Structure 1
């Protein structure tokens, strides 16, 4: 047998050591923070402050990426073990505060034994050396394979299929991404550029967020991309990332973004982040996603001739509205999803009405007609049924879109347009960069309205049947089939 090189011998020893360490950890168990819809998602005992994620892409979206995820956190309870959400990757080694740590896995949890018992209230740094595997990605989210590389679609519970994390929107953190890729490719991520370094045939691109972000909103794209820069309101950097070959074809849509930003600012106040833009993926994804500062769309959304212009425009505004509702103000639990999708659908509908689409009242009347059926199929807006087994995206049902926008329409009918406008601005101002609950929203609405709205919200958010629409006693809901 030939002599092993020093580097290869070290690598084999490290792998063997990691295997032995993993095997030594007894009975790892998944924990979770008790989210009603995703009970094993998130982890108790610590608060993540920042992620530093290094990804090395080897030029093929069918091969695992090499990765190092560093997590800076603070304990909130004494910990002997640290649970992280992680699946679809091989863990090669873990360190806690610079010391090698034992680890094991169960279900979709990576369980790390701390080198010592950690008291509450102390900083801790966890480093995980792992792979990030795009193979097998599908409807359950994570990496999206494109014609020329990769992008991310992590909603609702799929960020941990890309990197180890506390994968729940209630634990927001700052992110740094360091992406190494072949020099012919372009790598982008959420936040702002923070440097680019050439290493022979590869380039490392660094990006940082200036505001905390939920894991489900992280975005990294690698591909043969053109990056198009323009300026939005107040000098806001607007950065679009598109397949290089389609730049001219997509420009008529992309140049609309500054005006859409201005429209949203007139509704709810200043844009809450450091940059915005549209990421167009050359992929057959059948959805758009509000990844923070860089909303994801499939290319066919802009090239499908059957879509009228007002429809494409309004869906662009839907994802833009999420930057306020869902991104800046994140849901404290997944049962609060209606606050994200209801608001985004509300502003989508209003923008459509002003730009050639159907009248808002017509759309809301149709939603009212269907509302009892939606509630029967998926639960009421603020207490939705869980996703169907093996179909995580089934959580995103009509009741959390137009069914929840209907709640906002009813609220505006109940308290008046002026008070509703004050509420919307106060909501995104009071909870900026945090996670908030349905109860937070209903309390604020009562305060702005100057009266107790508990009975109103009990029916509209939790009732099995849709309450009568204020101001429209003639509206009726069809009986569920």
Structure 2
């Protein structure tokens, strides 16, 4: 992500921050087999739900921009990870009209963001089940702890759905935590003349009776916070990269011309990223370019990052790098976000270096010497220990996160660093990983190297480290 509305973009003891016990045990001691309401995330403890693992979402949606009304049917296929007499889905706002588990109607209860469902028959551990939710209403715009907006954003000609960190629960029910990834089929019906853009590949587009239905399919696992939906008038460009990867770009007509020069470099950026980070983990790529005021920040939505107006090349590199770091290798908790943002920021440094600009070492030293002139909060907290959810998009998460990555490169050397990065993306491809996973991996890949000072001073240390 790049929160460009608030961030100027650019560039003591080891704590093994593995997944909190609450994430794996939440609800395990509850009587009656009730799944946990929330998975105990350090910053969003009510996000996600215990007791099941989602495998696939089927969303059938219809939206009317005139009334701002969304109606939907969500079919969620999941596997019970413990015996369940009830389970929760996250859904913020909206009116639930009916819930079914399998073919049977199921009683449900609403409280805050929790939709509690009681199936007629108990689900045993290992059972695969399908829950269907019919709902409708005016989706909410969510204000994050840092003041940015997500969820359902109304635009001049439609809407834009963005989910990081919790906004996706504003437009569909699900298990809304990064630790539960699934495949998706999203079908959206809109008035004729508008386009609905989502993740993955467009399977079909058909117009009947003044309305057009778009069907999108995402086969690879996706966290709900990088699911997206754009509805409006777009100039759509379809092409392929040099190796045949489908490219789908949708740009607001007011931004299309200004975006063309940078987005024409997308195949080049993709080829560079694959050579640097390993094979591309998804089956298509592209971009969505909205008007600058529609979101105010870019987001690494899977396959198809969203930009607030025409991006520059550095921002394109940042969001494409996130397809490896954040979308394929997804943070285990929101506290692990530095792993995504640090790597994506470091990708900008590497791109600049490979393009003949400042080296990553020069960028690192400049940040150390006078980085606070540009990033006033640079040394305000360590990247792996943000004070609160309001700091998830803070300068240390991005810039100090990248500095941690560069210190690892310094310690192991360029060739070993290249192998380490490609090995990391391969080892956790389409999975989740936390800070403790990463530090352990680095140490395993570089036996004999001592990383204690890097972890203590740069990853967890307070303030500006005493030495480079």
2:308 corresponding residue in structure 1: 298
2:383 corresponding residue in structure 1: 381
1:111 corresponding residue in structure 2: 116
- Please report the TM-score for the alignment, with normalisation by the length of structure 2: 0.86
Taking the TM superposition and a 5 Å limit, the aligned residue runs for 1:139-154 are 139-154=148-163
2:245 corresponding residue in structure 1: 236
Give the distance between the partners of 1:251 and 1:375, measured in 2 at CA.
Answer: 33
Aligned 8 A contact 1:313 1:352 in 2: no
Taking the TM superposition and a 5 Å limit, the aligned residue runs for 1:68-83 are 68-83=73-88
Give the distance between the partners of 1:344 and 1:120, measured in 2 at CA.
Answer: 38
Select 2:59's aligned residue among 53, 60, 72. 53
Give the distance between the partners of 2:112 and 2:65, measured in 1 at CA.
Answer: 30
1:10 corresponding residue in structure 2: none
* Structure 1 residue 244: Cα displacement: 3.4
- Structure with higher Rg: it is 1
2:21 corresponding residue in structure 1: none
Query: RCO greater where, 1 or 2, for CA within 8 Å and sep 6 or more?
Result: 2
* Structure 1 residue 268: Cα displacement: 1.4
Taking the TM superposition and a 5 Å limit, the aligned residue runs for 1:389-400 are 394-400=391-397
Select 2:48's aligned residue among 38, 42, 53. 42
2:209 corresponding residue in structure 1: 200
Give the distance between the partners of 1:133 and 1:449, measured in 2 at CA.
Answer: 53
Give the distance between the partners of 2:450 and 2:116, measured in 1 at CA.
Answer: 44
Give the distance between the partners of 1:130 and 1:263, measured in 2 at CA.
Answer: 43
Encode CA deviations 1:42-101: one digit per residue, 9 max, x unaligned.
Answer: 1000000000011101233x5121011110000001111111111021111111112111
Aligned 8 A contact 2:142 2:167 in 1: no
* Structure 1 residue 373: Cα displacement: 7.5
Select 1:286's aligned residue among 293, 296, 299. 296
2:231 corresponding residue in structure 1: 222
* Structure 1 residue 239: Cα displacement: 1.1
1:276 corresponding residue in structure 2: 285
Taking the TM superposition and a 5 Å limit, the aligned residue runs for 1:1-400 are 31-60=37-66, 63-131=68-136, 133-138=138-143, 139-244=148-253, 246-284=255-293, 285-299=295-309, 301-302=310-311, 312-355=312-355, 358-369=358-369, 370=371, 374=377, 377=380, 379-388=381-390, 394-400=391-397
* Structure 1 residue 350: Cα displacement: 2.1
* Structure 1 residue 235: Cα displacement: 0.9
Give the distance between the partners of 1:280 and 1:273, measured in 2 at CA.
Answer: 20
Give the distance between the partners of 1:37 and 1:455, measured in 2 at CA.
Answer: 26
Root-mean-square deviation over aligned CA pairs: 2.2
Encode CA deviations 1:416-456: one digit per residue, 9 max, x unaligned.
Answer: 11111111000001111111121221122112212364524
* Structure 1 residue 263: Cα displacement: 1.4
1:464 corresponding residue in structure 2: 462
Give the distance between the partners of 2:169 and 2:428, measured in 1 at CA.
Answer: 26
Give the distance between the partners of 2:102 and 2:317, measured in 1 at CA.
Answer: 43
Deviates more, 1:72-81 or 1:368-377: 368-377
Task: Considering fraction of residues, name the structure with more helix.
Answer: 1
Structure 1 residues 468, 376: CA separation in 2 closer, same or farther (over 3 Å shift)? closer
SS at match of 1:114: coil
Structure 1 residues 433, 331: CA separation in 2 closer, same or farther (over 3 Å shift)? same
Aligned 8 A contact 1:85 1:109 in 2: yes
SS at match of 1:315: helix
Aligned 8 A contact 2:92 2:140 in 1: no
2:433 corresponding residue in structure 1: 436
Aligned 8 A contact 1:146 1:283 in 2: no
How many correspondences in the alignment?
A: 426
Structure 1 residues 213, 180: CA separation in 2 closer, same or farther (over 3 Å shift)? same
Structure 1 residues 453, 147: CA separation in 2 closer, same or farther (over 3 Å shift)? farther
Deviates more, 1:459-468 or 1:215-224: 459-468
